[in-house]
Amino acid sequence: MNTPFDIVRNSSPDFALQQNRVLRNTYLLLALSMLPTVLGAVAGVQLGFSLFGNSPLLSFVLFMAVAFGFMWGIEKNKDSGLGVALLLGFTFFMGLMLSRILQVALGFSNGGSMIALAAGGTGAIFFTMAGIATVSKRDFSNMGKFLFVGLILVLLAAVANIFFQIPALSLTIAVAMVGIFSAYILYDISRIVQGGETNYVSATLAVYLDIYNVFVSLLQLIMAFTGERD
């Protein structure tokens, strides 16, 4: 709930100018971050990259360690050019990690179209949620705790499914991930608009992760329901 101070601050020309600048820079850096992601994904597919493919649990632990190391470094250096460089390095790494599911998708006869459909669906979700957050001017910050709890539950279910390998649970997790990270796009863009996030590097990192997870989860669902073998 906005206090009188927040209402006055949010209505000031300087505040609006600052947040428009943060939002613009976030979108520009987000677009730039897609280039190393694509390069990493293409390189990973060409090289057949797999992070300890024979040990899913070890792969998950190593991935989380590297990812959190990058995120720690990005946040620590978010006010300098090093933060931007680390962000771009992180997105290249995420592209490499993305290559594994792309390799699986390309194993289907309609792999290319499924990847394009997932990308198009992700774009539609992003523009819809970002549009709502920007145009409505409503404060969605109260969603944060609910989304965080939901994310923790989904991560625990994903770790458990590394051992159980239940297809129905995998699909349920993918559906939940699409819903949670779609809502996170709304939440993270709203934080910029409302002044809760004033650093465009941190904002880009948050929105990038939202988009990445929506894409991966959508692709998993599309492969499950429309994948065609030769």
pLDDT digits (tens, 9 = 90+) for 119-157: 999 999 999 999 999 888 788 888 989 999 999 999 999
Residue 124 has what pLDDT? 97
Residue 49 has what pLDDT? 84
Residue 55 has what pLDDT? 74
Q: What is the pTM (predicted TM-score) of this model?
A: 0.90
Q: What is the mean pLDDT of each run of 10 residues along the chain (230 residues)?
A: 48 72 94 97 90 73 92 96 96 95 94 96 96 87 91 93 88 96 96 90 97 97 88
Q: What are phi and psi of 79, to 5 degrees?
A: -95, 10
Residue 59 has what pLDDT? 83
Q: What angle do CA 197, 199, 202 make, to 5 degrees?
A: 85
CB 126 within 8 A of CB 214: yes
Residue 142 has what pLDDT? 85
| Integer Cα distance of 197 and 93 in angstroms | 25
Return mean pLDDT, the chain: 90
Q: Can you give the residue range of the structural domain that contains 178?
A: 4-226
Residue 121 has what pLDDT? 97
Which of 184, 159, 181 lies closest to 170 in space, CA to CA? 159
Residue 48 has what pLDDT? 85
Residue 107 has what pLDDT? 92
| Integer Cα distance of 72 and 78 in angstroms | 10
CB 200 within 8 A of CB 22: yes
Task: Tell me how many domains the chain contains.
Answer: 1
| Integer Cα distance of 202 and 77 in angstroms | 10
Residue 223 has what pLDDT? 95
